[in-house]
Amino acid sequence: MSDYTTGELARLCGVTVRTVQFYDARGLLHPSELSEGGRRLYSEGDFRKMRMICALKTLGLSLDAIQGVLASEKPERVLLLLLEEQERRIADEQGALERQHRAVETVRETIRSGQMISIESIADMDRMMEEKKKLNKLHLGVLAIGMVMSGLQWGGVILWITTGIWWPFAACWPFVIALGILITRMYYKSTLYICPNCGARFRPKLRDFLWSNHTAKTRLLTCTKCSNRGWCVETYGKTE
């Protein structure tokens, strides 16, 4: 005996009446009976099948894929293959969304920092994001080397205070100075600055680089292209 009308089935499964009718038209779920007045009537088995269709739809499967599962002699095997493909598709979409999110962050941070930005530079988003990644790695490298230098200095001081042995402290200084010069030169050769006035990428003279005021992301410099002096945005780059 049939138990549910179209409206009752739709309400129990959380869909609209039009959705139930559409599934009937697509051949996914036919009513078990039609009343004398032509109304669709659905059985308990139809109800379970409708719930399965809704669950598979929630997993992101297309109606064609769902129809293939329902019509298969081995629905579990077909469903497994479909879900594996769906998982790969979701992973690809997540990767695309993550890249889009990073691109949005890059443009937003660029604008907030006061850097000039054009349609052409937005089109070259991959380069902008790659430069940002390399600059972050450069900052981490400089920080790590700085911690090594600081550790050598404080280690020598502590040894001097606790044991009275002073020569390790004195001996480490040439190494610390050489390391400081090396890291400064590496940082200077790996960074460029973007002028807020003309948008040009330039490398300042070493003297200006060493003695200019700066923040974590900007430096007060005179542009070598337009001679404007202002807070220039730091970016990664070995050649202008």
Give the tens place of pLDDT for each residue, 178-212.
878 888 888 888 888 888 788 788 999 888 888 88
> How many other β-carbons are positioned within 10 Å of the β-carbon of residue 45?
10
Bigger pLDDT: 18 or 35? Answer: 18
Buried residues in 94-109 as b, exposed as e (16+ CB within 10 A): eeeeeeeeeeeebbee
Q: Once rounded to an integer, what is the mean pLDDT over residues 62-72?
A: 84
Q: Evaluate if residue 1 carries a pLDDT over 70.
A: no
| pLDDT exceeds 60 at position 121 | no
pTM of the predicted model as reported, rounded to 2 decimal places: 0.46
Angle at 43 between CA 40 and CA 49, to 5 degrees: 100
**Residues 6+ positions from 11 with CB-CB distance below 8 Å:** none
Mean pLDDT across the chain, nearest whole number?
80
